[in-house]
Structures are given as structure tokens and as C-alpha cells.
Structure 1
Amino acid sequence: MNQKYHHPSPRLRRPLITAVTLIVLALLCTVPAAAAEPVPFSGGEYSSAQELASKLGDAATASGNTLTLKKDIKLTGQLAITNGTITIIGNDHTIWTGTDTANLIQLYNGGKLTLGDGTSKLTFDGKNIKKTKGVLFHIGSPDSALVMQNHVTIQNIVAPSYGSAVYIDGTGSFTMKGGEITNCTAGYTGGAIYVEDGSFIMEDGIISRCQAKPNPHDLSRGGGISTDGRFNTSILMKGGKITGNIAHLSGGGIYANSNCTFTMSGGEISGNTANDGGGIYIFDDLFTMTGGTISGNNAANDGGGVYNYAGTFSLSGGSISGNTATSPNSDGNGGGVVNFDGPFTMTGGTISGNNAVTYGGGVCNFGTFSLLGGNITGNKVTTRSDRLYDGGGGVYNWETFTMSGGTISGNTVPSVDGDGGGGVYNMKTFTMTGGTISGNTVAASGGGIYNKHTFTMTGGIISGNKATGTGAELYHTGSEFSLSGSGNISGGTTYLDGTRTITLSGALSGTGGIQNIVTPDPKLNDIIVTTRSSEDAKTARPYFTLDSSLAKDYGLIVSGTNIVLGEYTVTYHGTGSTAGTAPTDSNTYKPNVQVTVKDQSTLVKTGHTFDGWNTKADGSGTAYNAGAAFPINEDTTLYAQWKPNVTTITLQNNSKTFDTVTITYGTDKVHDTPKVPTKPTHTLLGWYTAETGGLPVINSVGDLINSAGYVTDGTWIYEDPTLTLYAQWHKSTLPPKITTTGLPEGITDTKYEEVTLKATGTTPITWSIASGNLPNGLTLSPDGIISGTPTKAGTFTFTVQAANADPAGTDTKQLTITIASNPNPGPKPPQPTQPPATSGSSSGNMDNAFRVLFETSGGSFISPATSLSYGDKISQPPAPTKDGCTFGGWYKDEACTLAWSFSEGIPGDITLYAKWNHGSSTDPTPTAPETAEPTTAPETHHPTAIATTAPPVTATSKTLQPTLTQAPAPIAGALLGLLAAGTLIRRRT
């Protein structure tokens, strides 16, 4: 039958509405109140947190040197910290600037201020009010210091001239350990920080989106940080990030003026912009970079990453990468670095991936540039169609460039509008004594070097460069190109423009020389090579034809297009030989002379066979057998090659060959895993050097076993090509498995029923206690018998171990014995030597006091029968109960195989065992709760007094009491509302 929905009666509606209203009010109690207005504070001079807190009233509290804000503060006058140390914890509050005139917070006369504790948020906000003078923080004495921690923000500060957030003079210091200075503006220089006389240390944190605005005095410098040039200042950058700042003239991130020492060992200067020096502008100061990153900065004119003007710049680590000098309306020089009128020394680090419009994708040098180490790689010059002489993908040199190490590689000049110079464009003086110029490319001329003036090469390598035009390695159109020593130009062509010559300024040595010389006119390909002394001419003469008409100038006509001076030698190397000596060749060979390769002489290597020679030690070069010949064009070393010996092993079993395997000297693997033979009731121990005894060499699964003369450190060291090994066996032993599941209980001062522990497995089996202890007075014999007389009551848990013969097998098991207190303590008479005649309990035969224990194995407790004599008969107790089981009678043994008859007389102390059959018990389980206090004893409970007529006692678990937990506040409010509504409803009804 359908039921209709019944609306509440008018009598109930009003109480229900009241209840709902109470619930809503309870929930609304959790909504926070609106933020309070900031507390005005006119400032003053303070030396302690306590003093400052007392002036702030309920807006702050103080503990020691720490001031904790409780409300936002509006600072309307100057606050000075002097002669003391204060730490301000923001507690998520803000200090607002409320005036546009003063240096709002002054630190002088030893005043030290720490902003934040590294966890609590603190904000200083200038609200972008344009101040007429002053900054936010002014550090004005030698012993005054400001420290800024994480979660502190200084923002929206606008200052009229130098710095906006922090102004340092009087040799004070500012250490930035975290936090952020952002969106701050200075009218002249130092958008966020200005260091006039003192130091700034940046360990962490961020300076971002700050700027030095354009001004009529042309002082827009240092979008993030700027220093003064009149006093000694220092900047130390260990970490943190200076990013997204703007200077409309110089130094988008940092402007370091003269008398400044700037050291960068970590951190990041990125994404800043300026006309010159997008990341950093150095003016006549000392800049040392050992780590960190200068990346992604942009200069509209010169120096995308760094502009060094008359300063001293040292680069030994870190990276200058991805910077640009690419404004289409300016020169756009030095994508990575511009060095103008100052020394720049590079001993390490990387200048990579930078881009310039006109000169020097990596470095544009107008001063003195020394490259001793590091990498200039992957830089680019895009070139402009309205400019001449542009290029230098890696380096553009207008003054003095010396290269003694490092690498210039992978740089490009992709446009054909300029001259070229994928690696280096030299307009003045370039001296190369070492290092490598390789893998550079140009769409015009001079893939490696474009030389328009003086290039001197006494060492290093120029090789593997590419040019779409001419001179893949070198394009020489300058006044002088000198070559001597070990300088090597090879691979692509070297182009000599017009009548340009190569000057041999000294004898060539080692790999020194030049290949593939070309000129505009093929007739000139026999190039004139001028030397500066007769000795040089004599050295060169065997390899060139001397033109008598030029003899007075020691001129030489090149035979062909290669200059290769010197005579070559051949050296033989043993490459890991263990005895003997390598062959020697005392001859010197002229270029292209055929050399006959020698044999191995007396060289030997343990476990190996000589396998010829190779020009590389690892065998990756050109291979030669003894007696072979090759044309020599350089000093050559031939390395002995060795082939490891292979041993064939015959595996014998029962005097018959079972398997054959091979193994290589010095390896740890048998080539083919040996098959495993079988033998009934035996286990294979492994393969030995004799049928009996001997040394084990290979185990049963094919692993090598360290054996003197055969295996060391898991590798094969046997040298002979053949070996026979023999199978050895061990008769199998079945490890033990303990089958005893429980032990009878005992009573103090009463002989314990002797128990023999049981286990399967190969005998003999030896028993021992692995952990824990037997009851006091009991012992375990090696053959597994527990016996003795317990002396202390309690429950004793211990672990027994069963072990059998070699190869050893063991098993352990945890067992428990419970010892009850003797209800009739005292000395017991000795046991009779012969059993007396059977008698009933009423016969008075009490010479011995015996008892019968009932072991229910988890069933309900049955009280023992005590104070019995030998031969007494006992009555059958009530049947015990056990959940899920049916009682099956009493038995003499734990396995329940020998039934007990209650018509029998007892033979002494005995334990009867209840037998259980799985299935529901027919006896009801008592439900009355136990009144005794809970203990840690096991389920079987022993009464404190024992009587032969005592009925069995059944124990049950105590009733669990529920626990009421407190409801959350909003839910508690709702419950109160419901209770109130219920009261109203009851009253209404």
C-alpha cells in the first residue's frame, strides 16, 4: 500500500526552525573576523626589543632580543635601532610605510637588526609612494648590520635617488640569507640596494623586478644593486637569485663601480636588461667569478652577460650562458662578455650559447684577453647587412688575445653578410701557444680563424672547423702569420689571400705543421715560406726545395701544399706485459718512409698470447702484425695487443666424462654452465681437482671457487689449455623439523613429568636452548629430555633448537611451560621403590601425596585432583568446553592415542589430556563475566587453593567498556543546537 508523505504539523515547525538556526549560528562561529587596520607608529630610537614592544603596546610582544608582531604596523616616522640587537618576527604581519620623507629605519651606533626567523612571514610594503628623500633601510655605521631571512618580503619601495630598499654606508653590512626584495625603484642608481661604503653578502633569496629609472643625469645604473666609486665596497654572492631587473644605462642586475671588490661563487644573475651589461657592468673594479650562473640577460648595445670596463675580470668557474646583445639598432657586441680596456683572464668555467648581432658571440675583446682554460662554445653572431668586418662566433679580438689552453668550439657565424671567423675573428694581435680551436662553422670565410692582422702560433691545435666560403681552418689576409714549435693546423684548408706568406719563426717540433695550403691562384700553390735564420732554413731544407734566387732571405719553396718538419721515431710499448722487454727501434724516419714492424721480442703476459700491435693501447687504432710495413708521418707508438688464453675443462663423474666446458683467463664466468649430474641420496658438492680430496674449483651451480693456482678474487687464473675436474658428493641429510607442539604444566617443589621433545629428520638430533630460559630447576638434555623439579612458579617461554649431522640442518621452535605454586608446600616423602597395593582414597594410604592435572588445550579450566595416594581412583570431572569443538574424552598422552579409564588407579603424578573433535560444542558457554583482575597469564587459570571436590571453573573475557571521544567544535555546536531543539519539541508536545 502506498504511503503519503506527511508534513510536520504547525506545532512542530517552529521548534525545528529554531534548531536549524542554532546549528547555523554554531557553524558561523568558525568564520574569521576581517583583518584589522594597521597600528600607527611614529618611530623613535630603541636599543632593545623590550623597549620597542612597550611602545607598540598590544601590537607586539618581546622575548629577549626578539620582537614578535601581533598586528600590522604603519610606520609614520623614523625608527632607529642603536646600541643593541633586535630580531623582528612578522607572524604573517606587514609593516607599511606611512611617510614619504625619511630614511624610515636607521641602523647606527652598533644597531643590529635581523628580519624574520626563517619560517614566519614578514612584509615591508612601501605602497609605491614616491618618497622625496631617503630609503627604507639605512645602515650608517661600521658596526651596524642588517640580516634578512627567508619568508621576508620588501616590496613597492620608491626612492628618489640612490637605492630604495637598503642604503649601506659607514662600512656597515647587509647579509641576505633569504626572502625577496621586489618591485622597488631608485631614481638614479641601485634599484633595490646601494652600497656606498660597506658590504653586501647574498647567500640566498631573490632580488627581482627592481629598476634604476631614466634620469637627466645619465645615472640609471644597477637595476638590482649598485655601488659607489668613492669608497671601498664589496659584494659577495654565494647564492640566491638576481633576476628581472632593469637599468636603462648600465648593469641590469649589478653595477659595480670603481673601488669595489665583487666575488661570485654561486647563485644566479638572470633575465636582467640594460643598454650595456645586461647582467653585470664592471667599472674599474675587481670581479672574480668562481661559480654560479650569469644567464638569459640582455643588453641593447654591448655585453649581454658581462661588460668589463677597465676592470680586472677573472673567470675560473661557473657559467656565462644564453645572454644576448641583439638590438637591431645598435652594434650589439659581446653576447656573453665585452672586455673593454681591461684585463680579462679565463682559467675555467664556460661561456656558451650567447648571441651578438655584430661582434663576438661569446667574447668581444677591446682590451687584454688571456684564455688559459675553460670552454667558449656554442655562441653565435647573427651579423648585420649594413656593417663590415662583423663576425667572431666565439671570440672577436680588437686588441690583444693570448690563448694557452682551453677550447673554442661549436661557435657559428651563420650569415654571409660579414667576413666570418666561426671560432675567432682577429683584428689586432692573436698569439696561440696551446688549447684547441675546433668544430666551429661560418657561412663566409675562416671556419676556425679569420685573421686580418698578426697571428702567431707556437702550439695548440686548429682542426675540424668548417667554412662555406674559403679557409675551413684559417683564412689569412692580415700582415703576418707565423708558425713554429708544436702548432698544428690540419684537416681542412688554410687559405693565404693573395701573396700572403707563412713565416717559420722557429723550428717545428713534435706534431707541429700545417696541411692543405691553398691560394686564389693555383699557380701560387707552391707558397713562399720565409724563415728568420739560416739554421731554420737548414732544418727545413730536407723537406723543401730551396730557391736559389731567394737564398739570401732564406726563402723556401714549399714542395706540395704541406709543411711538415722533423724526423720521426717508433716506440714499442708492452701494454700490461708481465715479463720480458719490448723491442726497440733506434732509427729516425723522414716523412712517408716505410717502417717495418718488429715482433714481440721477449714480451710475455701471464695467461695471454701475443696478438700483434696497434696504434692505440685499447686496440681501437690501426693494427699491425709483426713484419708489416706502414708510411710514417708522425712520432708513432705501437702497443702490444694480448689475447687471453682459453682453458677447456673436462668434467668427470665416476671415472667417466660427464661434460666439457670452456673458460677464459681473467673472467669470472664459465662459457657454458655445466650440466648437474645426479646420484641417489647424495648432493653434489662441486668439481674438484681430484676424485677424493683435492681443491674445489667450480661449485654445483657453475660458480668459480677461489682456489690457489686456479681462481683468485673470483676470476680464472689457470693458464694451461686443458684441465680435468672431478665430481665429489655428500650423502644427503634430511634437516630436522620439530613436531612437539606443547608441554605439560608443573607445580613447584614437585617432580616435573619427564618429556621427550620430538622432531623428524636424519638422526642423531641434538637439542639445545636457543634463547630464553627453562623454569628454574628444569634442564634439557642433548637427547631432548626435559626433566627436574621446578622451584619457581610462573610462565616460562623459551626457544629450543634441533640440529643434525653435517651438512648441518637446524630447526627452532618457541615453547612455553607454566609452573603453578604448590598448594601444600613442604618436604615430600621419598617415592616408594615398589608400588604398594592398590587402595582407594579412603584406605588411608597417604604415604605419598600425588595429583592429577587436566590439560584442556585451550578449553575451559578443570581443577586438578590433589592429595592422592598411589593407586587411588578419581572421579570423572565435568566435561570441559571449547568453542567450535566437541569434547572427546581424557587421554594419557598429548597425542590422545591412549585413553584413560577412571576405573584405573593412579600410578603417581599424572596429566590427562582432553581430546577435541572439530564441531560445535554441545555444552553452553558460560556468559557470566569474570570478576578477577586481568593478568598477563595465559588462558589456563590456576586457583590459589586446590581441593579434590572443587568444581571446574570456566573463565570468560571481561565486558569492554565504550570510550566517548570529544567531537570537533563545529559539530559540538551543531549537537548542542539539536539538543536545544529536542528540548523545545518535548516542551511543545
Structure 2
Amino acid sequence: MKAKYVKQGLGLLRLIILVLLVGILSACKQDEKEIELSFIKTSYEIYVNEEVEVLLRLKNVKKKDIVFESENPDIATFENGVLKGVSVGKTTISIMIKNKLNTRKYIYVDVIERVDEEYSITYYLDGGKNHPNNPTKYTKEQLPITFYEPTKEHYIFDGWYVNASFTSEKVTQLKTGNDGNIRLYAKWVPATYQINYHVLENARHQNKTSYTIFDLPFNLTSASLSGYIFKGWYLDQEYTNSIDTIDISIVGIRDVYGKFEKAYNITYHLNEGTLPNDAIKIFSKSDLGLKLPIPTKDGYTFLGWYDNPNFTGEAIDTIEEEQDLVLFAKWSGGNQEYPITYNLNKGTLPEDAITKYKENETITLPIPTKEGATFGGWFLDAQLKTYKISEISNGTAGNITLYACWLYEVIFEIEGNDIKEMVIENDKVTKPEDPQKEGHTFDRWVIIVNDVEVEFNFNSPITSNVRIIAKFIENVGNN
């Protein structure tokens, strides 16, 4: 019985060992079948600098056990599952499981230059000039792109729009993500130009102070200033470059200078003659040297202009001085009779005083009288300031009105010394400087009215002869 059990035990052991060997061999065979290294793609076309993840199929293999090698690293590299293009060309990447040559596999790589899709940008400038930095095409990789402002003479840029009616929003840049061809329309508004008019104080004019090209051309109207003649507009302060119209050739000027010259009047006493329609009546400095007009009178010959009604001195034919002129026309050839009117201012004419004269005669005027007054002459003006005459000269024509000038004697009495002055009736006498007297202080000027000293009022008109006396006050402490 014992031997039988031993034999049975050895048989069982053999069976167990056999089973184990079969299992081991089966396991080894099974391991070799389960190891796997493969690719989803075996060839790649990539761009320079592009990185692409290579998807591997691994079974029972760890990534750290993967060995890779680029045939030409200058063209493409492979690292940690990422394929990267370096330069244009073709190469091969080999991949295998470490120490297992029979697992080597290959990836074929073609590296190409990136050619991005280009889109056009078309600009509609409406006569403007585009900025040189604005591109005419773009790729998506170049975005964003900021647009620069174009220019157009006499206009201000008001934005880029994507439609010609300018109803879209303004476009300042192409943002990331934009694609497609672009049309941009430039919107313009007319530039407004300012003009500064440099004129004398209180001068007036009605010219435009601002304008656009749509206002062109326009004429500059004259400025005015009382007592002056406007001589034109100029582009410079020296008045050398005159201007009367703003047109396209001088758009943008900012300053215009008005030239003024002091005005002088010409008063013509025509003696029944007639001036030409274009006769100068106001002149200024720049008119010096101009010829005076020649009047006409039927049946008469013009003998010249004179600066006095007596026609004394030389005849005047040109404007020579910067001052007002009063001119009298002298004629010959007539024998017409004209009346003389005397304004005597309460005086009396001699009984034989003439009341008419003829053009071809020279008449000496009469001397009137007035109690208490001295005759100061005949004047042609009621103010008794100018045009004093003593005769009506040959060549004078027309009705004449004469005004008698009366003078009164004003005596300033200063300590027995008299200073005499003749004053025109109704004029005021000028107050003299305060007189001096040793040891005294001047007090006032007085007149005697009804034996009473009355202080004289220098603002009152002179209507009679008058004696004005200086009064002094003795200084205290001079005795």
C-alpha cells in the first residue's frame, strides 16, 4: 500500500509541473501578441514652425519606452509626441519600442512654406490720397490691422465706411477673425477756413470771417471808417500785395490787412459852373499829384482854381498837400449881373453901397458901421472864420451873400498897464495867464458895473468893448 501512494504522488507532481510549463509558455506567447505600436497617420504635411501632435496606438507599452529619431532634424523634429516643422523639405521620423528593433516604424514628413489666403482691401477715396501705410491686401494672420487717415486738399477726413452712403459704423481697424475682401469708402467734410481782418479801430466791413471751398470765389467788400478813405485789402502788413477776391489759388490765408488813409475834403465854389460827374471830392495821401477836374459853364472860359474868392496867387491844377481844399472857379467871357446880399449883424451900410455886380468887373465892397464896434471885414461864411474878402474879383459869378464881422476892444488892465485885444462879436476872450506883482498874490479879474467890481466870466460872449482889471491881494508880513 505504501508503494502505491508514492507512485501516485509522483504522477501528480509531474502533472502540476506540466501544467505550469504550459501556462508559462502560453503567457509568454500571449505577451508577445498584446504589445502594440502603431499610428493613426503615417505621413504628414505640415508648415514651417507648425506643431502637430502625432497620435500613437500603444498597447502594453509605456511612452517612456518609445524611442524616436529624425532622419534630418533640420527639417523636422519629434519630441514627446509632437511633430514640428523646422524648414522646407522632406524627412522621416523612426519610432520603436526600446530594445525591440522589430517594432520600428516610420512617419514620413513633408514640411512646406505656409501660404496664407489673401483678401483684398479696396479704397474709394473720392479724389483724396491714401496713406502709404494702408495695406491693399491682408491675411487672417496679419490681423488686427489699424487704418490710417487719407488726405484730401481743402477737406477733413471723417472716417472709413463700408458703404458709399456712409450709413455703416465707422471702420478704424480690421479685427482678429475678419476675412473676405473689404471695400472702404472715405467720407470727407469741407474744411472751414478762418480769416482775420486787420483794420483800424472802429472800422467796419461785412466780409466773411470763415468759408469753405463751396463759398469760392467771393469778393471782398470795402471797409469804412469815418475820416478815412479805404485803399484796399492786402495780404501783407506793408500793403504791397493787394487782394480783392478770395479764390481757390489762395485758400487757407488767415490774415488780411485793410489799408486806410486819412481823408481830406475838396469844397468847390463853382460860380455857376458844373463839375464833371467823376470829379474827386475826397482824397488821401496816395492821391497827391492828381489833376483837379475842369468844370464847364456855357459861354465862359475856365481860368483855373484858386484857394480864395479874390483869385489872388497862382491857379491850382493838382492836389499837392494833405489838407482840406476850398477851391474857387474863375471864369472869363461873361457879363451877367448877380445880386449881393449883406448880413450886417445890426450894422449900417453906406448909402452908396452896391447891391449888384457883373462877372467881368472887380468891385470894392463897402465898409459898414456899427456903434461901439469896429468893422472886421466881409466874410462868405456865417461863422466868420474863413473866406474873408474885400472885393468881388473879375471872373466871379453867382449870387453872393456877405456877412459883416464886428470887433470889440478888450483891454486887460494890470497895475496901470493896458494890453489890448480885438475880439469878434459873440466870441469868448481867452483868459490870460495870471499876472505877477511883487509882494502880492493874484486874486481875480474884474469889471466895473455901475461902479461895482464884478468878477469877469470868461465863458460869457463879448458883445461890447470891455476893460478887465487884474486884482491882487497883498501878502501878509511884507510890511
Normalized against structure 1, the TM-score is what? 0.17
Structure showing greater Rg: 2
Q: Which has the higher contact order (CA 8 A, sep 6+)?
A: 2
